[in-house]
Amino acid sequence: MKALATAATGMLAQQLNVEVISNNIANMNTTAFKRQRAEFQDLLYQNIERVGTNSSDAGTVLPSGIQVGVGVRTAGIYRITDQGSLQNTGNVFDLAINGRGYFRMLLPDGQEAYTRAGAFQIDQNGQLVNPDGFIIQPAVNIPNDAVGVTINEQGQVQATIDGQVQPQIVGQLDIATFANEVGLEAIGGNLFLESQASGPAVISTPGQPGFGNILQGFLEQSNVNAVQEITSMITAQRAYDLNSRVISTADEMLNSANNLR
């Protein structure tokens, strides 16, 4: 009874589907979170009668054949990189990228990571860091006597020093883009690592062709749509129920066959 194994693969697929959806819903309020979608493929087919083979000595050909599928498999979990809505926070060090690009962050092990979550702060040394204390690249140092900080759309950081009229430039932010953003490796903490699938980082000043602008006092919101996710979860639940019903039906059929006398 192949239906037992086939339906089992369907239940496992829908279980994974619900896990992906639940992660999306859990991160509805995560800054710059990008929702994910599970992709599935059908498994190999058993060719009882191969399509296109001769059905007689006269040269007639089977128009369809007999192929029986054996279930479903997970092909991948795809990240949807659509821009999230921008929320005005009024915080000087909240930054959002309007368009393509990622902020560059220096990890404690010296590796460079990438993020679109721009909820930055100033550490004890006056450096611009993320909530985990990782330093943005290139490093930006805010003077202790600064009474105001302005970051323009091109990433230029200017500080107004107490007692001075003209602001002074204290740093220049740049952003990175990738040929395949979906290929970035997520490591948690709103951070991604470059991978062979993503291609190498292309770094440039914000506002250049193909690169987004930086908006000061804004944060990018999650691109999760609650209604869409709940609808997808209901669909996945119904599919799970149907596969479990197939297993019950196959079990009843086996029971009937065992009771034949």
Asked if 214 and 97 count as a contact pair (C-beta separation under 8 A), the reply is yes
**pLDDT tens column, 5-19:** 999 999 999 999 999
Query: What is the pTM (predicted TM-score) of this model?
Result: 0.87
CA–CA separation, 80 vs 66, rounded Å?
38
Distances (CA, A) of 13 to 19, 42, 71, 204: 10, 11, 10, 41
Pairing of strands 156-161, 146-151: antiparallel
Q: Which residue numbers in the chain have pLDDT < 70?
A: none
How many CA atoms within 13 Å lie on the side-chain side of 155?
Answer: 28
CA–CA separation, 135 vs 124, rounded Å?
12
Neighbouring-strand partners of residue 54: 61
**pLDDT tens column, 19-65:** 999 999 999 999 999 999 999 999 888 877 777 787 777 778 878 77
CA–CA separation, 233 vs 156, rounded Å?
44
Torsion of CA 98, 99, 105, 111, to 10 degrees: 170
What is the model's pLDDT at position 204? 96
What is the model's pLDDT at position 227? 96
What is the model's pLDDT at position 160? 93
CA–CA separation, 75 vs 147, rounded Å?
53
Amino acid at 7: A
What is the model's pLDDT at position 1? 76
